[in-house]
């Protein structure tokens, strides 16, 4: 029995998870090794970014269907999940994604009052590395994460599962795997899992509604860069911490501040739902228009 035939017999979810993890890890793991080496050797020069940039570009071209073997070109393009978007859909997708990220931050603030959340990131030791060099590494790392994680988790993994089992199952599976993949960070644990599933919902619904992972790539890379640069320059990130005087609601009880956070998060989530619904309507209208335009030449010939 051929290997391809055996692979096709494996459940879609398993194949999607394996494929998505491999697509993401193929670049993120080497980048982590390069960045770590850059801290130890010649830390004043961002040489790891100079090496990683062309590798990321070549890898992206390969996922888009270029290169050998020719037999996998169509599969690579389909699994990556790219589609040409109009300027209207692009603008609406970015706006909806930003509202979704705002809802995510509000949700984090509520979550911080419900469960003990350790910091997601630790302040790196920049004593041996100039801040400009560190900034270049942060930006390069954000690009690597944005392109490879969206390709792997929202393209190869979520896309394949959604085509068979629908978007809800796809986002839950990809979000859970996305969260466990970040357990390699020393401070990330089970308490962070709802956050990563929510992240997958923000980016995953953008990919599902538009048919393209590119809005998620842009927002993912920008968000990581903003958070990383904030951490490097100020020692703080966007990850919330409960006020010492408040504590967890299970220990100190609820208060006006907690209910205010819940109301604030509810407004952001409602706004995200409405903007995503508007985005879905915009995409449907555009696809109907494209379908009508594609039929017009045929009708004229009749």
Determine which of 68-77, 106-115, 126-135 has the lowest per-residue pLDDT on average.
126-135
Q: For residue 294, with 0-12 CB atoms within 10 Å meaning exposed, 13-18 middle and 19 or more buried, which class applies?
A: exposed
Q: Is 237 inside any structural domain?
A: yes
**Residues near 202 by beta carbon (within 8 Å), at least 6 away in sequence:** 97, 100, 101, 103, 104, 219, 272
Residue 300 is predicted with a pLDDT of 46
Averaged pLDDT for residues 105-119: 82
Q: How far, in Å, CA of 238 to CA of 225, rounded? A: 12
Residue range 173-218, pLDDT digits in tens: 999 999 888 887 766 777 788 888 999 999 999 999 999 999 999 9
Q: Is 91 inside any structural domain?
A: yes
pTM of the model: 0.88
Cβ atoms of residues 126 and 36 within 8 Å: no
Q: Is 1 inside any structural domain?
A: no
Q: Which of 109, 81, 61, 78 is nearest to 216 (CA)?
A: 81
The sign one gets for the Cα dihedral 114, 247, 263, 205 is negative
Q: Is 275 inside any structural domain?
A: yes
Cβ atoms of residues 15 and 7 within 8 Å: yes
Q: Is 294 inside any structural domain?
A: yes
pLDDT exceeds 50 at position 50 = yes
Residue range 12-34, pLDDT digits in tens: 999 999 999 999 999 999 999 99
Cβ atoms of residues 214 and 236 within 8 Å: no
Residue range 232-289, pLDDT digits in tens: 877 776 666 555 556 788 877 888 888 999 999 999 999 999 999 999 999 998 888 7
Q: Is 29 inside any structural domain?
A: yes
Q: Is 5 inside any structural domain?
A: no
The range of the structural domain enclosing residue 249 comes to 11-301
Look at 3 and 216; give whichever has higher pLDDT: 216
Give the CB-side neighbour count of residue 286, counting CA atoms within 13 A: 17
Kindly report the average pLDDT of the chain as a whole number: 87
Q: Is 2 inside any structural domain?
A: no
pLDDT exceeds 60 at position 123 = no
Number of domains in the chain: 1
Look at 281 and 131; give whichever has higher pLDDT: 281
**How would you label 89-126 residue by residue, b for 16+ Cβ within 10 Å and e otherwise?**
bbebbbebbbbbbbbbebbbbbbbbeeebeebbeeeeb
Residue 248 is predicted with a pLDDT of 81
Residue 150 tokens read as 């969206």
The verdict on whether omega for the bond into residue 192 sits within 30 degrees of 0, i.e. cis, is no
């Amino acid at each position: 029995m051929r290997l391809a035939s055996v692979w096709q017999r494996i459940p879609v979810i398993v194949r999607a998870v394996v494929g998505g993890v491999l697509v993401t890890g193929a670049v993120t793991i080497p980048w982590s090794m390069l960045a770590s080496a850059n801290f130890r050797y010649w830390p004043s020069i961002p040489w790891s970014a100079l090496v990683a940039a062309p590798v990321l570009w070549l890898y992206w071209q390969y996922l888009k269907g270029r290169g050998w073997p020719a037999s996998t070109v169509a599969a690579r393009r389909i699994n990556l999940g790219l589609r040409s978007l109009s300027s209207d859909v692009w603008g609406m997708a970015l706006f909806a994604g930003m509202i979704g990220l705002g809802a995510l931050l509000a949700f984090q603030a509520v979550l911080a009052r419900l469960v003990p959340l350790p910091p997601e990131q630790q302040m790196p030791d920049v004593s041996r590395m100039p801040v400009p060099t560190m900034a270049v590494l942060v930006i390069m790392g954000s690009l690597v994460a944005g392109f490879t994680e969206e390709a792997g988790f929202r393209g190869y993994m979520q896309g394949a599962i959604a085509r068979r089992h629908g978007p809800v199952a796809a986002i839950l599976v990809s979000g859970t795997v996305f969260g466990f993949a970040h357990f390699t960070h020393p401070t990330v644990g089970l308490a962070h899992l709802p956050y990563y599933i929510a992240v997958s919902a923000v980016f995953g619904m953008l990919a599902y509604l538009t048919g393209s992972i590119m809005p998620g790539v842009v927002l993912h890379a920008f968000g990581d860069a903003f958070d990383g640069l904030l951490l490097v320059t100020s020692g703080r990130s966007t990850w919330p911490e409960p006020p010492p005087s408040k504590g967890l609601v299970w220990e100190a009880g609820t208060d006006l501040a907690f209910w205010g956070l819940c109301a604030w998060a509810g407004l952001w989530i409602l706004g995200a739902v409405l903007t995503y619904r508007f985005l879905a309507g915009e995409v449907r209208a555009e696809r109907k228009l494209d379908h009508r335009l594609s039929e017009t030449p045929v009708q004229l010939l009749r």
